């Protein structure tokens, strides 16, 4: 039996805690989290703001009570302020109270924090961050209580910015989406896919200010009134800052190895470079099977899987993480885009020689006249080994399950040639005999 302390109880921590409590109940589990809630699904924030769901109450799937009913000691609104990794002790603070605790095994699940744009005016009122339940609630409450919020500027056109731009537009706001790079969703898609999304946003009245650098925020009576870019000033009653997240990994020790991103560098068992100390979720690296390197990819899906792996190892069962591909999806005004692994552009930037094969066709045969929109697919593969290292799909059809096959293909190092004659069944209700996956593979150089 060990005393296992988990610091941070959001997605990664929750997965680890539940795995230990359910499968290794002989251990003593102590949980510290500085927040007042557990397991908030940030992905639901845009749905809540855009009134596609009635409120934020359903965006939680676990609680302190659940952990306590299974025997854990849980301290909410309690911050771990220091860790002595040599003595295996933690300093913990809750309000005015401070105390020490000791562990046999430690799981760090302290997550990530929003990147702050350090420009003049950044402390003006109504410049909002979007990370916690409390952040989303504040935005919703401000918008509901004050009809003078008419124009919203969203800074950052990654998947969170794009989702929020849609959400504000859905509730009738005048929305500008600003980004330094001249594109939306730059990290996840190549140009033909990004252009589809950009057009989709513009068609729905979202103003794009791409390739524009934010220089400052202007204000009136202490409240934000505009965003000054290197090209113009954009009026805004509220600004949402979502330019990205960085690891929240504050604990130092000369023996604790870090990744260039600042995340704790972990092995496939989620172990840090210090024995008995594990790191999971957004504060840790993951093994990326597309680049075959440790990377920083902050996603709830990665957090949950890493939590499960760490829990087994901390409880004494050796288990290795199989790695991730950064698989992701987005659905904006019914345009669904999913991707996994590397784009052509990212692979090229990393010096990986790649080719790609693309195909677009309706999901089902032409004689099926309903629910049969076109699907666009791009498969990215290495020139040298012909291994698949990325895929992107776009459609109004819900084809998202297709991307999971590509995730597995990357993980298992499947070549583009293997896909050519792969057994893909045919039924007109679902797909075509010469379907877009087969056709893209067959047309690979």
Cβ proximity to ligand FAD, 32 vs 406, nearer residue = 32
Q: Which of 33, 179, 212, 294 binds ligand FAD (CB under 6 A)?
A: 33
What is the contact mask toward ligand FAD in residues 97 to 136, using x (rule: CB under 6 A)?
Answer: ------------xxxx-----------------xx-----
Tokens of 71: 């025997």
Least distance in Å: CB of 115 to ligand FAD?
Answer: 12
Q: Are 59 and 46 in contact (CB under 8 A)?
A: no
- Contact call for residue 79 and ligand FAD (CB under 6 A): yes
What is the contact mask toward ligand FAD in residues 142 to 181, using x (rule: CB under 6 A)?
Answer: ------------------x---------------------
Least distance in Å: CB of 66 to ligand FAD?
Answer: 15
CA–CA distances in Å: residue 138 to residues 45, 143, 202: 11, 9, 27
- Contact call for residue 49 and ligand FAD (CB under 6 A): no
For residue 190, which of 356, 328, 383 has the smallest C-alpha distance? 356
Q: Are 419 and 331 in contact (CB under 8 A)?
A: no
Three-state secondary-structure class, residue 217:
strand
What is the contact mask toward ligand FAD in residues 211 to 250, using x (rule: CB under 6 A)?
Answer: -------------------------------------x--
Q: Are 193 and 338 in contact (CB under 8 A)?
A: no
Distance from C-alpha of 72 to C-alpha of 279, rounded to nearest angstrom: 19
Residue 271 pairs with which residues in a beta bridge? Answer: 278
Cβ proximity to ligand FAD, 49 vs 342, nearer residue = 49
Residues 254-273 that bind ligand FAD (CB under 6 A): none
For residue 62, which of 39, 31, 89 has the smallest C-alpha distance? 39
Instruction: Give the ranges where 174-299 is alpha helix by DSSP (H).
Output: 191-203
Cβ proximity to ligand FAD, 130 vs 243, nearer residue = 130
Place of tokens 């991730």: 324
- Contact call for residue 279 and ligand FAD (CB under 6 A): no
Q: Which of 2, 28, 35, 142 binds ligand FAD (CB under 6 A)?
A: 35
Cβ proximity to ligand FAD, 264 vs 381, nearer residue = 264
124: number of Cβ within 10 Å: 19
Cβ proximity to ligand FAD, 51 vs 413, nearer residue = 51
Distance from C-alpha of 328 to C-alpha of 274, rounded to nearest angstrom: 32
Q: Which of 300, 368, 408, 439 binds ligand FAD (CB under 6 A)?
A: 300
Cβ proximity to ligand FAD, 203 vs 252, nearer residue = 252
Cβ proximity to ligand FAD, 109 vs 314, nearer residue = 109
Cβ proximity to ligand FAD, 33 vs 387, nearer residue = 33
Distance from C-alpha of 42 to C-alpha of 96, rounded to nearest angstrom: 30
Strand locations in 159-203 (E): 174-179
Least distance in Å: CB of 187 to ligand FAD?
Answer: 13
Q: Which stretch binds ligand FAD (CB under 6 A): 38-46, 226-234, 368-376, 390-398?
A: 38-46
Q: Which of 282, 288, 294, 361 binds ligand FAD (CB under 6 A)?
A: 282
Least distance in Å: CB of 379 to ligand FAD?
Answer: 23
Place of tokens 């560098």: 265
Residue 132, class by beta-carbon neighbours within 10 Å (0-12 exposed, 13-18 middle, 19+ buried)?
middle
Distance from C-alpha of 422 to C-alpha of 424, rounded to nearest angstrom: 6
Q: Are 191 and 213 in contact (CB under 8 A)?
A: no
Could you confirm whether 43 is annotated as catalytic?
Answer: yes
- Contact call for residue 380 and ligand FAD (CB under 6 A): no
- Contact call for residue 80 and ligand FAD (CB under 6 A): yes
What is the rounded (10 degree) CA torsion for 230, 231, 235, 240?
-50
Could you confirm whether 11 is annotated as catalytic?
Answer: yes
Binding residues vs ligand FAD (CB under 6 A): 7-13, 32-35, 42-43, 45, 79-80, 109-112, 130-131, 160, 248, 281-282, 298-301, 303
- Which residues are tagged catalytic? 11, 43
């Amino acid at each position: 039996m060990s005393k296992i302390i988990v610091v941070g109880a959001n997605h990664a921590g929750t997965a680890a805690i539940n795995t230990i409590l359910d499968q290794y109940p002989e251990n003593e589990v102590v949980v510290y989290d500085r927040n007042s809630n557990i397991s908030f699904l940030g992905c639901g924030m845009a749905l809540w703001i855009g009134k596609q769901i009635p409120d934020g109450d359903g965006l939680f799937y676990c609680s302190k009570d659940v952990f306590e009913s299974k025997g854990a000691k849980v301290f909410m609104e309690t911050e771990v302020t220091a860790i002595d990794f040599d003595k295996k002790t933690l300093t913990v603070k809750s309000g005015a109270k401070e105390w020490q605790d000791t562990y046999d095994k430690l799981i760090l699940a302290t997550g990530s924090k929003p990147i702050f744009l350090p420009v003049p005016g950044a402390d003006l009122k109504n410049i909002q961050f979007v990370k916690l339940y409390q952040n989303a609630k504040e935005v919703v409450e401000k918008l509901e209580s004050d009809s003078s919020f008419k124009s919203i500027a969203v800074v950052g056109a990654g998947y969170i910015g794009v989702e929020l731009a849609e959400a504000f537009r859905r509730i009738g706001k005048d929305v500008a989406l600003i980004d330094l790079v001249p594109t939306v969703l730059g990290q996840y898609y190549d140009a033909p896919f990004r252009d589809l999304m950009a057009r989709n946003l513009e068609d729905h009245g979202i103003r794009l200010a791409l390739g524009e650098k934010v220089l400052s925020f202007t204000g009136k009576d202490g409240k934000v009134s505009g965003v000054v870019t290197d090209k113009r000033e954009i009026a805004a009653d509220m600004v949402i800052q979502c330019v990205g997240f960085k690891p929240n990994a504050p604990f130092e020790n000369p023996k604790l190895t870090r990744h260039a991103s600042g995340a704790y560098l972990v092995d496939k068992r989620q172990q840090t470079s210090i024995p008995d100390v594990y790191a999971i979720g957004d504060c840790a690296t993951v093994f990326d099977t597309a680049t075959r390197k440790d990377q920083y990819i902050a996603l709830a899906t990665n957090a949950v899987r890493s939590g499960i792996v760490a829990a087994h190892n901390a409880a004494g069962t050796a288990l290795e993480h199989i790695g991730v591909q950064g698989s992701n999806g987005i659905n904006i005004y019914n345009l669904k885009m999913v991707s996994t692994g590397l784009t052509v552009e990212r692979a090229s930037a990393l010096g990986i020689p790649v080719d790609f094969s693309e195909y677009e066709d309706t999901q089902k045969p032409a004689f099926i006249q309903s629910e049969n929109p076109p699907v666009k697919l791009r498969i990215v593969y290495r020139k040298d080994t012909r291994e698949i290292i990325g895929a992107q799909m776009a459609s109004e059809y819900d084809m998202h399950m297709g991307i999971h096959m590509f995730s597995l293909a990357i993980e298992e190092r499947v070549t583009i040639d293997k896909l050519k004659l792969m057994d893909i069944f045919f039924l007109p209700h679902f797909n075509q005999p010469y379907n877009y996956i087969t056709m893209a593979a067959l047309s690979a150089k």
